[in-house]
């Protein structure tokens, strides 16, 4: 079977294009994380605004995180402790749920996460950590699958991701379920353990 030089060149070009697109989506958080300056936009499809305090809690100790539904969640961090000061989160355990729209493992546990979010003694906060898709796409996705808990906005969720990584609380996997107990201690815990609490 003969393969023309044009066919080989076309396949090689397509491979580079596909790899380039995937790479851009996968490393975009890393680019922001390594930036020494505030970032106003990443690209036209997924704008993100990062406040000057990119080393979250290093100096300010607390930060306000907007959600995709217009709320503001205030989180204080100190020595690997996270405390959420909003009244509806008081005296409850909180699961910080790091997920990705295109993560097959996250898709498989959608029904379990919805069941978890209905537990009366627990609150869930979502953080899309796979790649930037923008708030409007994230709202559409979470509405479609039926998530009715707070999801952090892309406006500065990278700051929380940076804090979690810097403090050894998250290593880049999705899904990840970080249980924040009433004292602010954080532990990675399986969805099965959470459902059985």
Virtual CA dihedral for 74, 78, 81, 82, nearest 10 degrees? 10
pLDDT recorded at residue 132: 80
CATH number at residue 113: 3.40.30.10
pLDDT recorded at residue 6: 52
Contacts of residue 174, defined as CB under 8 A and 6 or more positions apart, other chains included, come to: 98, 99, 100, 103, 105, 106, 129, 130
Residue 150: domain span: 1-197
For residue 24, name the pLDDT band (cuts at 50, 70, 90).
very low
Give the full edge-to-edge strand order of the sheet including 62-66: 62-66, 72-78, 81-84
pLDDT recorded at residue 180: 95
Instruction: Answer whether residue 16 shows pLDDT above 70.
Output: no
Estimate to the nearest angstrom the gap between the alpha carbon of 39 and the chain centroid. Answer: 18
Virtual CA dihedral for 162, 166, 168, 171, nearest 10 degrees? 50
Question: Do 65 and 143 contact (CB within 8 A), yes or no?
Answer: no
pLDDT tens digits, 135-171: 999 999 999 999 999 999 988 788 888 888 888 889 8
For residue 76, name the pLDDT band (cuts at 50, 70, 90).
confident
Instruction: Answer whether residue 87 shows pLDDT above 90.
Output: yes
- The total of structural domains in the chain comes to 1
Question: Do 56 and 145 contact (CB within 8 A), yes or no?
Answer: no
pLDDT recorded at residue 42: 31
**Residue 9, token pair as written in the block:** 């060149």
Q: For 152, how many CA atoms within 13 A lie in the half-sphere containing its CB?
A: 28
φ and ψ at residue 82, rounded to 5 degrees: -125, 125
- pTM for the model stands at 0.72
pLDDT averaged over every residue in the chain: 76
């Amino acid at each position: 079977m003969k393969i023309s030089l044009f066919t080989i060149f076309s396949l090689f070009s397509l491979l580079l294009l596909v790899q380039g697109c995937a790479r851009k989506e996968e490393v975009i958080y890393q680019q922001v994380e390594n930036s020494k300056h505030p970032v106003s936009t990443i690209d036209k499809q997924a704008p993100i605004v990062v406040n000057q305090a990119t080393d979250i809690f290093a100096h300010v100790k607390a930060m306000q995180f907007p959600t995709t539904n217009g709320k503001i969640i205030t989180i204080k961090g100190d020595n690997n402790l996270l405390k959420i000061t909003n009244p509806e989160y008081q005296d409850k355990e909180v699961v910080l749920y790091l997920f990705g729209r295109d993560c097959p493992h996250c898709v498989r546990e959608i029904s379990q996460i919805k069941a978890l979010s209905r537990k009366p003694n627990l609150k869930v906060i979502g953080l899309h950590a796979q790649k930037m898709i923008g708030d409007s796409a994230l709202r559409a996705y979470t509405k479609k699958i039926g998530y009715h808990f707070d999801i952090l906005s892309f406006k500065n969720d990278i700051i929380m991701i940076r804090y979690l990584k810097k403090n050894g609380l998250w290593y880049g996997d999705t899904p990840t379920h970080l249980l924040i107990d009433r004292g602010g201690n954080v532990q990675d815990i399986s969805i099965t353990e959470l459902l059985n609490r």
